Amino acid sequence: MLAAAAERSQATEFFSPLPTGYRKGRHKYVVVFGTVMSGLGKGIFSSSVAKLLKDKGLVVAPMKLEGYLNIDAGTLNPYRHGEVFVLDDGTECDMDLGTYERLLDQDLSHANFTTSGQIFSSILERERQGEYLGRDVQMIPHVTGEVKRRLRQLALTGDGKSPADVVFVEVGGTVGDYENGFYIEALRELAFEEGPGSTCFVALTYVIKPETLGEQKSKPAQLGIKRLMEAGIQPHIIACRAAEEVSATVREKVAMFSNVPMKRVFSMHDRPSIYTIPDEMREDGLDREILSLLGLHERVDAAHEDRARDRWSSFVRKLTQPKPSGVTVGVTGKYAQLRDAYASIDKAVEHCSAHLECDVHLKWIETTEITDTNVGAKIGELDGVIVPGGFGSRGVEGKISCVRHCREQGLPYLGICLGFQVAVIEYARHVVGLSVANSTEFEQACPESVISELPEQKKIEGLGGSMRLGAQDVVISPSTLASFLYANGGHSISAGAAGIAGHVRERFRHRYEVEPGYVDRLESAGLVFSGRHPSQPIMQVLELPQHPYFIAVQYHPELTSRPLRPQPLFMGLIAAAMRHKVGAGVAGMGPLAKWLRPMSVARSGVVRPQPA
């Protein structure tokens, strides 16, 4: 018995496994916590600071820590959590990772996204395999140890090319939530183990302004930061969210009660666009403060920063300056009441607005209210229409009515995922003559199922198992609108063999496809499938050559749009919407002319790329 007691007494209480090759002190961490309430923009703040450091030549890698027990975001209702963002490797994750990808112009992977469900599943699996050497598995040190292991592993892999100089960690939810308490403890331990100068803690808080008082109040912010300090975290930087710029008096109070110098208390008030925030942070010296806190000044590449700043500032100027023209584009979806459900579409359009110097007003339209009889009144005054993705039958007939109106009236149309499928259904019903055409998603026993699950997908069990997820190659046919858009849009298109314009890589999230048996009938009636799977009879892009602009894709192009590299299909839509508004002429239309002139075709002609 004495021997057993001696063995127990020699066992260390530390459990903090280090990945092979990891060196403490080499990698730094910036951690962003939320206080007062969620949804304030932790991802926007974190990604903006990460961009500033990347501009300086540092390698950055973001990590979103989510408290919910779901393994991923794939089954979450958009009304509860906003859009599901899909990464290149097929990971279904939080929409904040879309913010990171856009601001950093950097593709992320499953390594950048962690949920409590993933953490606990991993630990329980290891426990069953005996990897804890007989220890009783506990929240501390094992759960917190797994969080630290994942963060350090991300530091090693970095951006996929080089190890990270700085890992940006965003903790979901709000300080005080039960579900993220172990994350906060893990990050406290991480800072302790990595040593002084290794970690910068940021508290994002909220400064209220009650209408009855008419002045900003900092007490909720003070109490929220106090909860963080009670958990053992002393913030180094405070970001104050507010509708209006936070006054110096309020920032002084926040600084005094949080032990944070005034120069590190940042007003993160509402802006016309999130893309103005990095430059304003730089003007306030926030990037220099973080470099000083982490001892990173010697790693800065000043020439790289100058080039990156010039490119970004040029984009922001074009985005914020008054535009000589404008259009209204309708987004006809079933979650139109919640813009976060289509956040990536919103941003993709914003990117085009800057590059085409055209104001774009998005009108959100609930398709459950649209019928064949009122569709003209609902969308007839628009300059273009986007039918986005979605699941389930609610609102589908309204979307089909929108497609028919766009096709028959020459209204520019972009269909995405479900927008591709309803375009096929509409064409089959009203042009091919298959009056009861539908999808098996909406009508299981449909006699003319032009959209259905393919046989190889039907064999896969599980709600998310039969989904096509992540980036896949699409073969683009030559002399088509799709080939012109990709060739001229700044996105990579690889060289193709005879009869192939090339391959593009886009991200998918869907389960249903065009039934191969109907492809010939649809094409014989004039529909062109200009994008296909490289080896299977799977249709991925369709267009109508006789239409001013009618294109739909089975994938989600909005996921790959970047501020400095707008997505070509959206660029084409906005250009076509402008032409629809002003007529056929393109003279004097600046950047729009590059897109309008090659797409200018007679109603009876075929769209073919021509020199601008």
Residues in a beta bridge with 452? 513
- Residue 79 · residue 338 · CB < 8 Å: yes
Identify the CA nearest to 253 among candidates 209, 288, 280, 221: 221
| Peptide bond just before 141 cis, omega within 30 deg | yes
- Residue 336 · residue 369 · CB < 8 Å: no
- Residue 217 · residue 208 · CB < 8 Å: yes
What distance in Å separates the CA atoms of residue 446 and residue 140, rounded to the nearest whole number? 55
Which residues have a Cβ under 8 Å from the Cβ of 76 and sit 6 or more positions away? 70, 84
Which residues belong to the active site? 417, 556, 558
Residues in a beta bridge with 268? 241
- Residue 506 · residue 553 · CB < 8 Å: yes
Which residues have a Cβ under 8 Å from the Cβ of 480 and sit 6 or more positions away? 501, 528, 530, 543, 545, 607
Secondary structure class of 344 (helix, strand, coil): helix
DSSP state of 2: H
Pairing of the two strands 166-171 and 28-34: parallel
Identify the CA nearest to 570 among candidates 344, 270, 263: 344
Secondary structure class of 289 (helix, strand, coil): helix
How far separated are the first and last CA of the chain, in Å rounded? Answer: 87
Please give the structure tokens belonging to residue 578.
């402008």
What distance in Å separates the CA atoms of residue 585 and residue 596, rounded to the nearest whole number? 9
What distance in Å separates the CA atoms of residue 609 and residue 210, rounded to the nearest whole number? 57
What distance in Å separates the CA atoms of residue 175 and residue 200, rounded to the nearest whole number? 17
